[in-house]
Structure 1
Amino acid sequence: MSDEDLRLSADRVLARLVGDPTDSARLREDQWRAIEALVAERRRALVVQRTGWGKSAVYFVATALLRERGSGPTVIVSPLLALMRNQVDAAARAGIRARTINSANTEEWDTIQAEVAAGEVDVLLVSPERLNNPDFRDQVLPQLAAATGLLVVDEAHCISDWGHDFRPDYRRLRTMLADLPQGVPVLATTATANARVTADVAEQLGTGEGTGRALVLRGPLDRESLRLGVLPLPDAAHRLAWLADHLDELPGSGIIYTLTVAAAEEVTAFLRQRGHTVASYTGKTENADRQQAEEDLLANRVKALVATSALGMGFDKPDLGFVVHLGSPSSPIAYYQQVGRAGRGVEHAEVLLLPGREDEAIWRYFASLAFPPEEQVRRTLDVLAASDRPVSLPALEPQVELRRSRLEIMLKVLDVDGAVRRVRGGWTATGQPWAYDAERYAWVARQRETEQQAMREYATTADCRMEFLRRQLDDEKAAPCGRCDNCAGVRFTTEVSAASLDAARGELGRPGVEVEPRRMWPTGLPAVGVDLKGRIPADEQAAPGRALGRLSDIGWGNRLRPLLAPQSPDAPVPDDVAGAVVTVLADWAKGPGGWASGAPDAPDRPVGVVTIASRTRPQLIGSLGERIATVGRLPLLGSVAYHDGEIDTRVPRTNSAQRLRALHGALTVPPPLAAALAEAGGPVLLVDDLADTGWTLAVASRLLRRSGAAGVFPLVLAVQG
């Protein structure tokens, strides 16, 4: 077929894809160049183009043309379920049969794999975590690699650890790329890659014999529909009030991004109270609720989704009218990727950043989850090497000082590096030599710091904001946009109504968060010398407790973070904090399940106050216990102490099993406290500063219950998260 005939066929497929009955739709030149490279030249290509440019059209049109020529099905590796659902629907419009294998449809996997084997599927969408599932990797992936007609890597910046959203599962693609038969084309697409990420992804694409260098098609990243702006507001209450007053002024429906799950839930609840139709969308939202929220936004049944970065990639709503960020992302590349959801099919869309003073504390928290220090990595490898069988994550966790989620990410990186391998039943060491690339990890950390500084500058620059973002993505054609608030003038006032501000202050100032007690011991403790397993006996558990707030809250979190920061000096509890704790205590007592609720099954009133000893904040905790005892007219019975008065501040907080192993046997109920408990003969309030893993409260409560306390009600200043 001549190039002209191929181009005509490609345009006809595009017309079906976009629903054009006149067949007048035409591919852009760069779209056609990518399709030509894939179909006629069987090359590998990387397409870096702005959101809305039409990257999915490239691989769907290429799929149709390749299938007509007898090629096998296209395999698309795609990161999020929202993207998969949208793409299955888009493929159907072009007469392309698409199916997906992901964590939400496990019951369909066998049927889908049989359909692929029978040639009944044109496109198979696979989530990246499937690539290293042992059964899929060993049984399905080799067959797919042998039969694939086109491999598509969507959101390809995830391959590169220089990128803003590196995902270790994506690195497994290097193996699949190397195993593809010669002549199988590969397409990688992304809207958010600077020059370094682009070069890294292109280098990884250019693997395998006879592949040659990957074709890189990089276009300008201006979004002519977006009108960027920054609204500096005094505090979190003003930002919430601004949303309540001005949300209806924003065009159409859109997305309000927050940095944490807690903030998303707070904002959603407040906006609903103020009469707005909004829904929450976070990593904790159930799949069915996520899908319903997506559908409600697509159909404009809600004004906005209040979302975390869980909605960052893959959501496709061409007429999305606005994106507001309540808090600044830590990377301009991530910010550009998120705001790119707006204005794809409308002439104008508003993009507003409302930065907050809590942003940098949240950046520091996420930065703390970087690749672990070498000694922790070596410890993990040693544990795996010493085992004669696969070690599961729950069994590995008690022996390594890492939280399970961080441990799993580290293992995935080591898997890609060839040092470990995931198999049925867990992980094994391969015995292959492995070097800790400290220089690379340090460089990535410095890169993150550079990105954070860029976001500070974005919020305060007097120059064009779109030009600023484009330069951060190394767009050589970056120029003033003429539309942002710095180019065209400010379009939104910072004024808020007194009513909304009072309501926001009341909502953010309302203290009290439930602290769910630990009910099960971590698995694997007997293997490290701690004879605890299964369910914690009911008569040794703490009752549900209370905290003044979460450290990630945009209300009390802003007050508690500096108070509980590691570098903060110890001092008596501030009056405003103590007063709020008393409010929490009063609401708790009178609320459902409280001892003063009047319910028939209400627990007995606490008969005393017990604190947990602290070497880092003895004044804070001691004074807090005294204030509570005085206001509640309760005796201060004493403190749960550490043996020999020694308090190990190095006890790890990031790993449940390690935390519990360190605490087990370290805490004690001194004889005077035991005697006071026996004399008091009832439940007690247990006071501490911070609940992180929850194990300090669990161990102290167990000791108190065993020493005669009829119940334990934990009361802390803050919970992590």
Structure 2
Amino acid sequence: MTTTDERATDPTAAGLRDEAEACLRALAGDHARLRDDQWTAIRALVVERRRALVVQRTGWGKSAVYFVATRLLRARGAGPTVIVSPLLALMRNQIASAERAGITARTINSANTDDWERVFAEVEQGAVDVLLVSPERLNNPDFRDLVLPKLAAGAGLVVVDEAHCISDWGHDFRPDYRRLRTLLADLPPGIPVLATTATANARVTDDVAEQLAEDDTLVLRGALERDSLHLSVVELPSAEQRVAWLGEHLDALPGSGIVYTLTVAAAHELTAYLRDRGHAVAAYSGQTEPAERLQAERDLQDNALKALVATSALGMGFDKPDLGFIVHLGAPASPVAYYQQIGRAGRGVDRAEVVLLPGREDRDIWAYFASLAFPPEPVVRTTLGVLEAAGRPLSTSALEPQVDLNRARLEMMLKVLDVDGAVRRVKGGWTATGQPWAYDRERYRRVSAERAREQQAMLDYIATTGCREEFLRSQLDDPAAAPCGRCDNCTGAHRPAAVSAEFAAAARDRLARPGVDVAPRRMWPTGVKDDPGVSGRIAAGAMAETGRALGRLTDIGWGNRLRALLADSAPDTEIPDDMFQAVVKVLAAWDWAERPAGVVAVGSRTRPLLVGSLARRIAEIGRLPHLGDLIPLGEPAPRRHNSAQRLRSVWHSLALPDDVAAAVASAGGPVLLIDDRIDTGWTATVAARLLREAGAPAVLPLVLAVPN
């Protein structure tokens, strides 16, 4: 509230605050009043035209700061507010909020390219008050070079939402966000900047403040207490029991909510189980079609669903004040990320339940995502060398065959190098700038160490006997962290870990249900036209059929067993009996057009016992002839990460012996192709081609595991 002294000594400020309060009421209702820090931030932006960083808990009202500031600035002749916002769902919520306050908002993102021309025209006509831009647009050459300079020069306010993404110390670092430092440094004088986040510890706060490119950035950091949240942890020994616990207790949780999983596969498995138990739920991930995601968000907003079963794709992107619960099936790798996700709940209700169901497999999943970190220096130097030698822009697809990285990691690395000034994205791809570049090994080591520290902190959170909210707030360097008096440890009211036999049996049945479709490769990768001499679409007469796998390595059912069996450190063993019986179920449910006439295995250097026993037992139980093995040639090749290099490696190291080819030809029917796993799919593709050339009318790949 504005004090009497302020109104008496600064009538202008008092009048401006009254105007700001009126704007807030239009946005949030007649009951709304500005917090002191909200007013401090608004005054800094509107009157002093400063740069400010606001670190406040979810639900505090950070969006009110930039919407009220927008109204005040627009009333004084300023240009539109440009908001860089990371997720489409978050953009949709921000646009809806703006419209309630009489603010005209538009968005530019990858999902509405057909609207861009109209939106730009509205901006030039002065009809748009707020323009929301996804960070990926900042690295689009046309947008960066032609559109962004005009927007920045004419902006009344620039907002960086979820600003922890700028910092590589933040739990959700994004290379595209790092480009904002250049944008902010190039802004004309007098354009205020606001950065906001709910999840930044002291290190991230200092880093973001520095990247705002102004020495006297105003930092407003508040206490992060959420007095509606009731935190608890339920430890159960197996994935089956955790799933069963959720199925048994979901209805008892208040209202509607979100159930987070660590992987896409887990989200779909859990959704299927909960639907079997009669719960109204929907899956939500980065792989969900945009229209389905939008419908799922609407259904949850309208309380037509009990829960969304979601990956972190929903982490920053959903605003439902009356969300009654958050459950995590598996622990995030960072207490900071965890606190952000649970902050979606309880914003407009007095009590919200927060339950963590950690699993032993969580660390395996953390390790997998950690493996996607910035590549080692030799790989980076190779990439720079290829770009320099080309002397022209290279697309990602043209660059990929020459660099041992998959597409996603290659693009991430190029974005970081672009921000560092070593490469530049232009029309047609990427070019080397020729500027000196140093591999900051020490920084990457420190970031990796920080990630390891965060993972240990998450394990400590699970094990703590102290206040859970105080623990999380301490991880965020909240100086006001104190016992909450509400969590399971503070109250002694721990949730029961018992699971009824009925729900446990249903979960066991669902998670043990074997079988995953494996789509065949249909196109040869780019960059292999000269070696091995193929390109374009794979000929129908050389392609595999849709195959089957027992399960995914990321499953919460078979995933644990498969990861242990196929781990690099695991010994080679024959196929376990129960796993083989599950494979038999996969075969029994396989609706093939024609029964296989024989079995062929992919000869394995690393797991000959496993693959050989699987092929032999399938042949025996199916009363099929074992036609032989494809054999590996030469020395073992290093594991390749991108399609072109992987295809070349397999192409030159896999052969079909003449006697096996003759047996395939004489079998006269489809061939069941056996291997332990499919990763990239190129081994199965090359093997299928060899078998089809030998006369097999169809090739049916059957493996134990696929990645996800």
- Short-chain TM bin: over 0.9
C-alpha separation in 2, matches of 1:95 and 1:19: 13
State TM-score, norm by structure 1: 0.96
Show the 5 A alignment for 1:423-502: 423-502=426-505
Letter in 2 for 1:689: D
Letter in 2 for 1:479: A
Give how far 1:25 is off: 2.9
C-alpha separation in 1, matches of 2:599 and 2:22: 77
C-alpha separation in 2, matches of 1:665 and 1:140: 48
**2:685 corresponding residue in structure 1:** 698
SS at match of 2:236: coil
Give structure 1 regions of 4+ aligned residues with deviation exceeding 4 angstroms: none
**2:353 corresponding residue in structure 1:** 350
Residue 620 of structure 1, aligned match among 588, 593, 610:
610
Give how far 1:524 is off: 2.1
1:220-248: per-residue Cα shift (whole Å, max 9, x none)?
Answer: 11100000000011211111111111111
**1:13 corresponding residue in structure 2:** 23
* Residue 720 of structure 1 pairs with residue 707 of structure 2: yes
Q: Percent identity?
A: 69
* Residue 647 of structure 1 pairs with residue 657 of structure 2: no
C-alpha separation in 1, matches of 2:346 and 2:395: 46
Contact 1:155–1:188 (Cα < 8 Å) also in 2: yes
Contact 2:605–2:632 (Cα < 8 Å) also in 1: no
**2:167 corresponding residue in structure 1:** 160
Q: How many residues align?
A: 698
Contact 1:651–1:663 (Cα < 8 Å) also in 2: no
Give how far 1:637 is off: 1.4
C-alpha separation in 2, matches of 1:678 and 1:109: 57
C-alpha separation in 2, matches of 1:296 and 1:643: 55
**1:47 corresponding residue in structure 2:** 54
**1:306 corresponding residue in structure 2:** 309
* Residue 634 of structure 1 pairs with residue 624 of structure 2: yes
Residue 36 of structure 2, aligned match among 17, 29, 42:
29
Contact 2:488–2:495 (Cα < 8 Å) also in 1: no
**2:528 corresponding residue in structure 1:** 525
C-alpha separation in 2, matches of 1:373 and 1:163: 21
**1:584 corresponding residue in structure 2:** 586
1:127-151: per-residue Cα shift (whole Å, max 9, x none)?
Answer: 0001111110010001011101110
**1:598 corresponding residue in structure 2:** none
Residue 78 of structure 2, aligned match among 64, 71, 74:
71
Give how far 1:399 is off: 1.0
**1:680 corresponding residue in structure 2:** 667
SS at match of 2:158: strand
C-alpha separation in 2, matches of 1:530 and 1:379: 22
C-alpha separation in 2, matches of 1:464 and 1:675: 70
**1:134 corresponding residue in structure 2:** 141
SS at match of 2:445: helix
SS at match of 1:609: strand
Give how far 1:525 is off: 1.5
Contact 1:78–1:84 (Cα < 8 Å) also in 2: yes
Give how far 1:418 is off: 0.5
RMSD (CA atoms): 1.1
**1:569 corresponding residue in structure 2:** 571
SS at match of 1:427: strand
C-alpha separation in 2, matches of 1:256 and 1:110: 38
Letter in 1 for 2:678: A
1:65-90: per-residue Cα shift (whole Å, max 9, x none)?
Answer: 11111111110000011111111111
Residue 102 of structure 1, aligned match among 94, 97, 109:
109
Give how far 1:497 is off: 2.1
**2:258 corresponding residue in structure 1:** 255
C-alpha separation in 1, matches of 2:26 and 2:474: 36
Contact 1:19–1:93 (Cα < 8 Å) also in 2: no
1:623-650: per-residue Cα shift (whole Å, max 9, x none)?
Answer: 1111111111122211111225x432x1
Show the 5 A alignment for 1:153-302: 153-205=160-212, 207=213, 211-302=214-305
Contact 2:601–2:612 (Cα < 8 Å) also in 1: yes
SS at match of 2:538: coil
C-alpha separation in 2, matches of 1:569 and 1:389: 48
Give how far 1:491 is off: 4.9
C-alpha separation in 2, matches of 1:563 and 1:82: 39
C-alpha separation in 2, matches of 1:436 and 1:449: 21
1:644-682: per-residue Cα shift (whole Å, max 9, x none)?
Answer: 5x432x131x21111112112221101221122222222
Contact 2:50–2:193 (Cα < 8 Å) also in 1: yes
Greater mean deviation of Cα atoms: 53-62 or 424-433: 424-433
C-alpha separation in 1, matches of 2:91 and 2:666: 63
Unaligned runs of 5+ in 1: 595-601
State TM-score, norm by structure 2: 0.97
C-alpha separation in 2, matches of 1:40 and 1:501: 61
**2:6 corresponding residue in structure 1:** none
C-alpha separation in 2, matches of 1:681 and 1:702: 16
SS at match of 1:2: helix
Show the 5 A alignment for 1:112-127: 112-127=119-134
**1:597 corresponding residue in structure 2:** none
C-alpha separation in 1, matches of 2:646 and 2:406: 10
**2:8 corresponding residue in structure 1:** none
